[in-house]
Structure 1
């Protein structure tokens, strides 16, 4: 039986962004869990803190009682890298998708302001136009975190030294990016920082490629997880 997989979601969305992967992998015999981070999904209204987010990830890992794969996308990828650098628990692998950029507090705040502006101008309709209705339905299924949570979250990740985090991770780390992902800019720096790293750039997709092309994405992801298990 394959090892368990813990999925960490991105900013404003929730565990629902991983709905297609949980369904497809579950049908193939994988055991998967995707918790909501504070301030997101079923935990909207709860204050976002780095301590609470890391505790959420740690509880999801510990809950299996055995080594797991840790997979995160965007904000979730950054938190997956940070959590993997800090944990004493054994991880079989880390897959960090759509997050190969080192933010500063300033750039993170600017990104948060852009999200706020898009929200004012387009609201949920902007998400649907960008992703398409089917992908957006998963992204939005459990609602969106409010802008106060966005602000708290971007300031938090702006304080992370992700390259240092990557360098501290013992498990194999795969950086997985869609061809047109806007966070690809520093992928080679991230790869060089990793002890046991590899870079996989899909020949398709943008930032939320797991939702816009879930079948092909999940097949690639499954192969990466199986490769890591063969090396453990």
Structure 2
């Protein structure tokens, strides 16, 4: 059951099985990564040595422009850690430009480019297993940019790779100022943006998957729904 099913109408606007190279031929990669499909689902891993720090991380953007009120769902399998995963959403240029507008500064997967660059976005980080404190106390974090505003967080129910039994069904719902995140139907957090404390409400924009090295993870069944109140 979707987290907003009792309150919203869901209208499917985008569906991608993420099963083959053909499915992602229009996706945009920032940074360097190996994108493969060994089990008929999208596997992502870094190409550069993790010793290079932020240079070894990457973002893989879906090319579609989505409406403001959406639910995003996908299946997730953690394969190898450490590292972490992020979903960017409502991502646009700071003046409302398309994220791939040529006059925006080029991005290379380095984190600062996404929270203090030429773009605004939300991003939710989950399966955070990079630093020692993240591996001992698992949380999912929601940040709003421009800036590096940690606006809410919740406990991450996904176990470490050794015990993980994916797929894990993940849903991100954004309606006006409300953002809700769930894993396997369990609400991890729900937060209401007042449109003032951390800047104006974000609308429309693109979604993208980010990984930090040397994490390896797989994804499938990406769907985006436009939602409206019942």
Q: How high is the TM-score relative to the length of structure 1?
A: 0.31
Could you say which structure has the higher strand fraction? 2
Could you say which structure has the higher helix fraction? 1
Q: How high is the TM-score relative to the length of structure 2?
A: 0.31
